[in-house]
Amino acid sequence: MARSGLSGSAETLRMLKTYESDLYKEFRKGVNSQLKPVIAPIEGEINSSVTSSIRSNMSGMNHNGRTGWSGVKVTPKVSLRPRDLLFIEGKGRNAGLDTQVGFEYAELAGIERRPPRAVSKGWGSTSVGYHSYIYNGQGKAFNRKLTQTYGKPGRFLWKRVLKRKPELENKVLNIAENLNIKINRRLA
């Protein structure tokens, strides 16, 4: 099976950042500018269709608190991790003084890697005793409603990025190829 991507990209980028920081900055700038036309429609689609749907259907997220839905801001980031050259990050937009995390909650709600605890982790406090509470299925209705309306976790950003993955990869590979040409010219 053929893998798309650049082999040794993390080591190369680390060395580039260390020894040729101006070329590394140019690569990051190129990634941001070249991927903006691909990422802007993703962000716009989530913010227009999903936000209006959530405002009307999901009353649990229609508030101005920290866990409310304020839309999403999508940004590409250059990665120095061994297997990833790029990752696409989505975060709740800033609403007032605090960033709202409603997008993050809704995007990943329902991922259950292990059975939930029967009792919460305890905590100490200034009052007497050690405190905890019993889980009574908090969040199950929220997860069920999101799954019925939008599908499995990864329901907003992840599925839209996967649809455009080949286009994103080609743009990043072209940027890296242009950068390689510049590095070779500099070395010669």
Domains in the chain: boundaries: 9-114+153-183
Mean pLDDT lowest among 39-43, 50-54, 159-163: 50-54
* Average per-residue pLDDT for the chain: 80
What is the rounded distance in angstroms from the CA atom of residue 93 to the CA atom of residue 100?
6
The confidence score (pLDDT) of residue 4 equals: 43
Amino acid at site 172: V
What is the rounded distance in angstroms from the CA atom of residue 145 to the CA atom of residue 139?
10
Q: With 0.85 as the threshold, say if the pTM is over it.
A: no
Q: What is the pLDDT of residues 121-158, one digit of tens each?
A: 877 777 776 788 887 777 788 888 888 888 899 999 99
What is the rounded distance in angstroms from the CA atom of residue 82 to the CA atom of residue 8?
8
SS3 88: strand
Which helix (H) or strand (E) covers residue 128, if one does?
A: none
Distances (CA, A) of 11 to 78, 84, 96: 13, 11, 40
At 13, the pLDDT band (50, 70, 90 cuts) reads: confident
Q: Two tokens at 52?
A: 């209006």
Closest CA to 150 of 45, 50, 44: 50
At 68, the pLDDT band (50, 70, 90 cuts) reads: confident
Q: Between 111 and 85, name the one with better pLDDT.
A: 111
